[in-house]
């Protein structure tokens, strides 16, 4: 699609996010792709599902997606708006470590405002029958102009108020372990109610 990879922004155990130059519009975009082209059918469906869920949410708190395709190396990818900013996880760590500039720029009222804006995004997703299922400070980004974005919808699911998806152990396991909701440990179903318990109940820095 005429995209040139510039640098790596971030990576995880199975995906990477790259900064790419889109020459036809003379702009930079973020490009997310698996680490390998050799995906199982389940992995392919999961990657596409993340793109479809993110693209279906038209909200200031969700990153806009631009295109989806396959690179010359055979890897699926999708492009989106690049985000400049700091994660709530990094912000809270600096706040906890008495970083004077962070404490000055982000007092308690501003921190509460960040959580409220993130909650609004979750509420919007729920109104569209989508649950995030991986809410934690690392997935809440404070942009350079103060915008609050909830990223990484890879664990997200389309629901109808309630969903049952048991794993091989009989428990639906999703999201970061320390932010896992109680329902996911004692039951085999998740739903809209899982997000608040998973994310905001645990933000006790």
Residue 42, pLDDT above cutoff 60: yes
pLDDT band at 155 (very low <50, low <70, confident <90, very high): confident
- Vertex 160, ends 137 and 176: CA angle to 5°? 25
Q: What is the mean pLDDT of the chain?
A: 84
Beta-strand pair 157-158/130-131 = antiparallel
How high is the pLDDT of residue 147? 95
**For range 68-96, the mean pLDDT:** 93
pLDDT band at 205 (very low <50, low <70, confident <90, very high): very low
Q: 4-13, 148-157, 164-173 — which is least confidently predicted? A: 164-173
pTM of this structure: 0.81
User: Which residues lie below 8 Å from residue 64, measured CB to CB, with a gap of 6+?
Assistant: 80, 81
How high is the pLDDT of residue 163? 46
Beta-strand pair 85-87/76-80 = unpaired
Residue 113, phi then psi, degrees to nearest 5: -60, -40
Residue 173, pLDDT above cutoff 80: no
Residue 50 has a CB neighbour count (10 Å cut-off) of 19
Residue 169, pLDDT above cutoff 70: no
Of residues 147, 119, 116, the one with CA closest to residue 135? 119
Beta bridge partners of residue 5, listed in sequence order = 20
Residue 94 has a CB neighbour count (10 Å cut-off) of 17
Residue 93, pLDDT above cutoff 50: yes
* Strand intervals (E) in 57-135: 65-70, 76-80, 85-87, 130-131
- Biggest CA–CA distance in the chain, Å, is 52
pLDDT band at 186 (very low <50, low <70, confident <90, very high): low
* Strand intervals (E) in the chain: 3-11, 15-22, 27-34, 65-70, 76-80, 85-87, 130-131, 140-143, 148-150, 157-158, 162-164, 189-191
pLDDT band at 178 (very low <50, low <70, confident <90, very high): low
* Whole-number Å distance between alpha carbons of 186 and 170: 10
* Whole-number Å distance between alpha carbons of 135 and 198: 6
The token duo for 180 is: 């896992």
């Amino acid at each position: 699609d005429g995209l040139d990879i510039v640098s790596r922004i971030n990576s995880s155990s199975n995906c990477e996010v790259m900064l790419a130059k889109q020459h036809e519009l003379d702009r930079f975009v973020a490009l997310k792709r698996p680490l390998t082209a050799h995906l199982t059918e389940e992995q392919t469906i999961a990657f596409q599902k993340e793109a479809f869920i993110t693209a279906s949410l038209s909200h200031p708190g969700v990153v806009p997606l631009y295109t989806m395709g396959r690179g010359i190396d055979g890897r699926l990818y999708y492009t989106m708006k690049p985000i400049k900013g700091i994660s709530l996880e990094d912000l809270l760590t600096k706040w906890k470590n008495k970083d004077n500039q962070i404490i000055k720029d982000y007092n308690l009222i501003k921190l509460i405002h960040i959580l409220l804006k993130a909650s609004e995004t979750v509420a919007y997703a729920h109104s569209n029958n989508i649950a995030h299922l991986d809410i934690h400070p690392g997935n809440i980004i404070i942009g350079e102009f103060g915008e609050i974005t909830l990223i990484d919808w890879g664990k997200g699911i389309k629901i109808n108020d309630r969903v049952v998806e048991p794993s091989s152990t009989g428990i639906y396991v999703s999201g970061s372990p320390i932010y896992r909701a109680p329902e996911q440990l004692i039951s085999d179903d998740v739903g809209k109610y899982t997000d608040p318990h998973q994310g905001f109940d645990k933000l006790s820095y």
